[in-house]
Amino acid sequence: MRRVVALLGALLVLAGCTSSGGGGTPKPSGLINQHTSGGFAGEALSPPQPRPSFTLTDTHGQPFAFGSTTAGHPTLLYFGYTHCPDVCPATMADAALALSHVPAAVAKRSYVVFVTTDVKRDTSQVIGRWLSHFSRGSAATWVGLRGTQAEIDAAQAAAHVVVAEDGGQTHSAEMLLYGPNDYAKVAYLATNDENEQIEHDLPLIAQGR
Mean pLDDT of 141-168: 97
Strands 175-178 and 75-80: antiparallel
Give yes or no for residue 70 having a pLDDT over 50: yes
Burial of 206: CB neighbours in 10 Å, binned 0-12, 13-18, 19+ = buried
Mean pLDDT of 68-75: 98
User: Residue 113's pLDDT is what?
Assistant: 98
Residue 194, H or E segment: helix 194-206
Strand ordering across the sheet containing 43-50: 32-33, 43-50, 183-188, 175-178, 75-80, 111-116, 141-146, 55-58, 63-65
The DSSP call for residue 101 is: H
3-state DSSP call for residue 91?
helix
Burial of 30: CB neighbours in 10 Å, binned 0-12, 13-18, 19+ = exposed
Rounded to two decimals, the pTM is 0.86
Higher per-residue confidence, 53 vs 8: 53
Confidence tier at 29 by pLDDT (50, 70, 90): low
User: Residue 24's pLDDT is what?
Assistant: 37
User: Residue 23's pLDDT is what?
Assistant: 40
Greatest Cα pair distance in the chain: 43
Beta bridge partners of 43: 187
User: Residue 190's pLDDT is what?
Assistant: 83
Give yes or no for residue 8 having a pLDDT over 50: no
Residue 82: phi, psi to the nearest 5?
-75, -25
Mean pLDDT of 12-22: 46
Give yes or no for residue 3 having a pLDDT over 70: no
Task: Tell me the C-alpha distance between 185 and 121, whole Å.
Answer: 32
Enumerate domains of the chain plus CATH numbers.
Answer: 14-206 (3.40.30.10)
- CA dihedral (69, 72, 149, 163) in degrees, to 10, reads 180
- CA dihedral (118, 121, 124, 127) in degrees, to 10, reads -70
- The model's pLDDT over 76-122, given as tens digits with 9 standing for 90+, comes to 999 999 999 999 999 999 999 999 999 999 999 999 999 999 999 99
Mean pLDDT of 135-154: 97
